[in-house]
Amino acid sequence: MRLSPDQAVRSTILPKWRAYLFKPVDGASVAAFRILFGGILFWEVLRYFSHGWIERYYITPTFHFTYPFLDFVKPWPENGMTIHFAVMGVLALMIALGLFYRLASLLFCLAFTYMFLLDKAYYLNHFYLIVLFSFLVWMIPAHRAFSLDRRRLHMQEAPVVPRWSVLLLRAQVFIVYFYGGLAKLNSDWLHGEPMRMWLAEQTDFPVIGSAFTSEWAVSFFTYGGLLFDLGIGFLLAWSRTRPLAFILAAAFHLLNARLFQIGIFPFLMFGATLIFAEPDWPRHVMQTIRRLFIRFRAIAHGPRGPRANDQIAIPATSPRSSAIVLAFIHIYLLAQFLIPLRHLLYPGDANWTEEGHRFAWHMKLRDKEAMLRIYVTDPRTGQTWEVSPAVDLSSRQIDEMSTRPDMVLQYAHYLADRFSAAGQARPIIRVDQQVSLNGRPYQPLIDPAVNLAEIPVSLEPANWLLPLTIPLKAGEQAATR
Helix 323-338 with 14-22: angle, nearest 10 deg: 90
CA 331 to CA 452: how far, in whole Å?
A: 38
Lowest mean pLDDT among 239-253, 271-285, 321-335, 429-443: 321-335
What pLDDT does 84 receive? 98
User: Same structural domain for residues 217 and 335?
Assistant: yes
In what helix (H) or strand (E) does residue 369 lie, and over which residues does it extend?
strand 368-377
Burial of residue 390, with CB atoms counted within 10 A of its CB: 0-12 exposed, 13-18 middle, 19 or more buried: exposed
Q: Evaluate whether residue 13 is within a structural domain.
A: no
What pLDDT does 317 receive? 40
Question: What's the 3-state SS for 179-226?
Answer: HHHHHCCCHHHHCCCCHHHHHHCCCCCCCCHHHCCCHHHHHHHHHHHH
User: Same structural domain for residues 172 and 242?
Assistant: yes
Q: Evaluate whether residue 9 is within a structural domain.
A: no
- Is the pLDDT confidence value at 118 over 80? yes
User: Same structural domain for residues 219 and 353?
Assistant: yes
What pLDDT does 157 receive? 79
Best CA proximity match to 236, nearest among 165, 180, 174: 174
Please list, in sequence order, all residues whose beta carbon lies within 8 angstroms of the beta carbon of residue 147, skipping any fewer than 6 positions away: 31, 34, 97, 98, 99, 101
What pLDDT does 469 receive? 94
User: Same structural domain for residues 144 and 180?
Assistant: no
Span 159-184, average pLDDT: 97
Q: HSE-up of 127 (CA within 13 Å, CB side)?
A: 19
Please tell me the total count of domains within the chain: 3
In what helix (H) or strand (E) does residue 160 lie, and over which residues does it extend?
strand 160-162
User: Same structural domain for residues 274 and 211?
Assistant: yes
The contacts found for 197-200 with CB under 8 angstroms, 24 or more apart, are 197/367, 197/438, 197/439, 197/477, 198/259, 198/260, 198/367, 200/481
Q: How confident is the model at residue 8 (pLDDT cuts 50, 70, 90)?
A: low
Span 199-228, average pLDDT: 94
Burial of residue 396, with CB atoms counted within 10 A of its CB: 0-12 exposed, 13-18 middle, 19 or more buried: middle
What pLDDT does 322 receive? 73
Q: Which residue has the higher pLDDT, 252 or 286?
A: 252
pLDDT tens per residue across span 39-87: 999 999 999 999 999 999 999 999 999 999 999 999 999 899 999 999 9
Span 455-459, average pLDDT: 93
- Is the pLDDT confidence value at 335 over 70? yes
Choose one of 131, 161, 191: the last residue of a domain.
161
What pLDDT does 318 receive? 42
User: Same structural domain for residues 344 and 385?
Assistant: no
Q: Evaluate whether residue 308 is within a structural domain.
A: no
- Is the pLDDT confidence value at 305 over 70? no
pLDDT tens per residue across span 120-153: 999 999 999 999 999 999 999 999 999 999 999 8
What pLDDT does 316 receive? 42
Q: How confident is the model at residue 311 (pLDDT cuts 50, 70, 90)?
A: very low
- Is the pLDDT confidence value at 481 over 50? no
Give the Cα-Cα-Cα angle 38, 39, 40 (nearest 5 degrees). Answer: 95
Q: Which residue has the higher pLDDT, 306 or 224?
A: 224
What pLDDT does 30 receive? 97
User: Same structural domain for residues 354 and 407?
Assistant: no
What pLDDT does 304 receive? 53
Choose one of 142, 161, 180: the last residue of a domain.
161
Q: Evaluate whether residue 16 is within a structural domain.
A: no
Q: Evaluate whether residue 399 is within a structural domain.
A: yes
Range of the domain at 231: 162-298+323-366
- Is the pLDDT confidence value at 160 over 50? yes
pLDDT tens per residue across span 369-391: 999 999 999 999 999 999 999 99
What pLDDT does 323 receive? 82
User: Same structural domain for residues 114 and 198?
Assistant: no
Please list, in sequence order, all residues whose beta carbon lies within 8 angstroms of the beta carbon of residue 399, skipping any fewer than 6 positions away: none
Q: Evaluate whether residue 196 is within a structural domain.
A: yes
C-alpha separations of 74 from 62, 171, 385 in Å: 11, 33, 30
User: Same structural domain for residues 281 and 359?
Assistant: yes
- Is the pLDDT confidence value at 315 over 70? no
What pLDDT does 306 receive? 46
Span 1-14, average pLDDT: 61
Q: Evaluate whether residue 41 is within a structural domain.
A: yes
Q: Are 378 and 430 in contact (CB under 8 A)?
A: no
Q: How confident is the model at residue 423 (pLDDT cuts 50, 70, 90)?
A: confident
User: Same structural domain for residues 359 and 394?
Assistant: no
- Mean pLDDT of the chain, nearest integer: 91
Q: Evaluate whether residue 307 is within a structural domain.
A: no
User: Same structural domain for residues 246 and 178?
Assistant: yes
pTM value is: 0.91
User: Same structural domain for residues 117 and 166?
Assistant: no
- Which DSSP letter does residue 77 get? S
- Is the pLDDT confidence value at 23 over 80? yes
What pLDDT does 106 receive? 98
Percentage of the chain surpassing pLDDT 90? 82
What pLDDT does 1 receive? 52
Q: Which residue has the higher pLDDT, 10 or 157?
A: 157
